[in-house]
Homo-oligomer: A and B are copies of this chain.
Amino acid sequence: VSATRARRPRARRGEGEHLRDEILAAAEALLIETGDEEAVSIRAIADRVGVTPPSIYLHFHDKTELIFAVCEAQFRALDRMMERAARRTPSPLAALCARGRAYVRFGLDHPEQYRILFMGKPAATPGTFDVDKMRSTAAFDHLVDAVGECMEAGDLPRADPFVVAVELWASAHGITSLLLAKPAFPWPPVARLVDDLLAVVVAGQQARV
């Protein structure tokens, strides 16, 4: 895969933190280009940056911490895409569907990032990262809020917005992750399928009480 990269010039005094960002960028680039989480090794990242492996440890305690930093960035990217999609929609319900489509699109456009965010092992997380960060990086909380707005606007029947949000998430995640996991399956046309599934779930919620 990798011929050794050009040696990176040493940072000036006080600018050591620059390397941290370069490491994160290299890790993400490797993930995207190789499409393979396994290819993102300490050595490959270091080589990509133009630096030796031990220098990674000047900025990250171990590999887990590094990968988590990458995930954080991806969670933020996902949230941004969903929020952007939700803007300039005519109604709360339209915003909700726009979020759902944006979520699926994020997964299909960034398959490896999606895999590490949502399809990997529970992850030997540093501390209680998982819940806290995932909720506080907000994509899910924004979804809960969006569901709540639909209920207030009368677009959805009143219920626990948290539970409804989980069900929407499960549906969007289900179709996204199956498409990624089984690309050889004879899927019906994807765009139609996704819209249809989201519509079905929304209709099912509306039919509820």
Contacts and interface: CB of A to CB of B under 8 A. Distances in A.
Contact of A177 (B162, B172, B173): B173
Contacts of A177: 118-119, 173-174, 177
Q: How many copies does the complex hold?
A: 2
Interface residues of A, number: 47
Contacts of A138: none
A181 interface: yes
A130 B196 contact: no
Given A125-B184, A134-B185, A200-B204, 9 more contacts: A36-B121, A118-B181, A130-B185, A163-B193, A170-B171, A170-B174, A174-B175, A200-B208, A204-B204
Interface of A: 36, 115, 118-122, 125, 128, 130-131, 134, 160, 162-163, 166-167, 169-175, 177-178, 181-188, 193, 196-197, 199-208
